[in-house]
Chain A
Amino acid sequence: MTTNQAPAPRRNRRAAQRTTRAGTRRPPAKPRAVWQSPIALLTGAALLVGVAIVFFAVLSQPAATAAPSDGITPPTSSVPAGLADGRTLGSANAPVTIDIWADFQCPYCGQLARYVEPPIIDQFVTTGYARLVFHDMAFLGENSSNWNESVEAASAARCAADQGLFWQMHDWLFANQNGENEGAFAQQRLRSIAEAAGLDMTAYDSCMAAGDKQASVKADSSADSATGIHSTPTIKINGVLYKDKLTTSDLGAAIMNAVGTSSPAALPSLQPASSPQATSAP
């Protein structure tokens, strides 16, 4: 016997379809952990990038040296004999004049003096092609309350110049840098450096006490600042501002360019520099 069943109402069919679909529907996705959210991932990535940039910046700065101590470090290079005249090193007849403005506290100036100048002196100054002229730009100690380490160090070097030992003192000062205004050139330590550099300490003490060197350092720094020297080290080669890297190769190339050649082998022959002509320190 057959029975004609009436079709199920549409409402029931739809309910059945919904039930079927619900059975095959994917389970709801688990909520993401907080650390997997875009903002957390971005924050982490930004922190990493920021720290990496700071790390690179720290590495690219001149090395911060250890805490000041009374231990005095000797320079690793020596001043060539017979070439110094005040704050000038080299023959007055040299075709290239390299003017250097520096602060004895400036770490980049220290790097220049310790690592770049010695090979430049060997290659170009002792051979008579160039002469170095040192200028004070003593500004890093400006905010010091009483003992301005930049000015006092520069004054000590000028007192050394009075004794014919400027470049020795220059090398000893740069060999004993220790941060900026951290006591590396405190009064007693500066005196120890001068003593180690071989100065006559009686003359040194009276020279430093007179105060005229300090005044002239400040006056020269202000005057040069007014002419556009605003950073240290600043280098001019035959009066032209040197803007390339402070490396021996780049500075050497600029000197050779000033001489008019591009290769050390092609440097024109010169009489080797002997005793300097009468030149006045700037």
Chain B
Amino acid sequence: MTRRVEARKLLGVHPALILAALDTVGLVVASYLSIVELSGGVPTCGIIEGCEEVAKSQYNNFAGIPVALFGVLLSITLLALALAWWRTNIYGLLLAHYALSLVGVIFDGYFLFLQVFVIKAVCIWCLTYEMSLLLRFLFAAFVYYRQPKPEST
């Protein structure tokens, strides 16, 4: 997994930088939600309702920790993987980004299910994060398929 393969550029840039940009979007959203949650407030949703109800729901915590904090940790890890892949071209880092974002997508799918069918309210911030994570996963898969594979030994 430490084999290095020159990344095939996309739109003239290393695909890791596009992944890193998406990770940064997710990190910003999750950080905002975490700060609001830890300060005891509720996220501002403007004219779109639902944030308050989701934020107040008991499903907003997992093992006693706000789910947004897990989003921050996941985004930081993914961002680190993307930047490391950009700097080193180590092929395994792309695979790690792909696998970790898939884990996050599965949990986010469950959380979206809770919002729609149990809490019956959708938080637009949470939805933005979920969409960004899905995009990161799909983009990592796309990059994998167009990326030259290392020689098998």
Q: Which residues of A pack against B, CB within 8 Å?
A: 29, 32, 38-39, 42-43, 45-47, 49-51, 53-54, 56-58, 60-62, 64, 106-108, 139-140, 142-143, 179-181, 228, 230-232, 245
Contact = CB atoms under 8 A, between A and B. Distances in A.
B53 A245 contact: no
Interface in B87-145: 95, 98-100, 102-107, 110, 118-121, 144
Given A39-B95, A230-B40, A46 B100 contact: yes
Nearest to B63: A60
Nearest to A32: B152
A245 B65 CA distance: 12
A143 B41 contact: no
B107 A57 contact: yes
B99 A53 contact: no
Nearest to B49: A143
B7 interface: no
A232 B56 contact: yes
A38 B95 contact: yes
A45 B50 CA distance: 34
A74 to B, nearest CB: 25
Given A39-B144, A54-B110, A45 B58 contact: no
Interface residues of B, number: 34
Contacts of B62: 57, 60
A43 B53 contact: no
Chain B at the A interface: SS class? helix
A1 B21 CA distance: 85
Given A54-B110, A57-B62, A140 B53 contact: yes
B46 interface: no
Nearest to A60: B63
A224 B42 CA distance: 14
17 contacts: A32-B152, A39-B98, A43-B98, A43-B102, A45-B99, A46-B102, A46-B106, A51-B106, A53-B107, A58-B110, A139-B52, A143-B53, A180-B119, A180-B120, A230-B41, A230-B42, A245-B64
B120 to A, nearest CB: 6
B103 A53 contact: yes
Nearest to A144: B120
Nearest to A61: B59
Contacts of A38: 1, 95
A58 B111 CA distance: 10
B20 interface: no
A32 B149 CA distance: 14
B105 A142 contact: no
Contacts of B60: 231
Contacts of A51: 106
Given A39-B144, A45-B99, A54 B42 contact: no
A26 to B, nearest CB: 12
A46 B58 contact: no
Given A51-B106, A230-B40, 18 more contacts: A29-B152, A38-B95, A43-B98, A46-B98, A46-B102, A50-B105, A53-B103, A54-B107, A61-B58, A61-B59, A62-B58, A106-B58, A139-B52, A140-B56, A179-B118, A230-B56, A231-B55, A245-B64
B89 to A, nearest CB: 16
B99 A46 contact: yes
Most chain B CB within a 10 A radius of its CB, from A32, A45, A140: A140
A230 B107 contact: no
Nearest to B153: A29
Give 4 nearest A-B pairs by CB, closest first.
Answer: A50-B106, A46-B102, A46-B99, A42-B99
B102 A50 contact: yes
A43 B152 contact: no
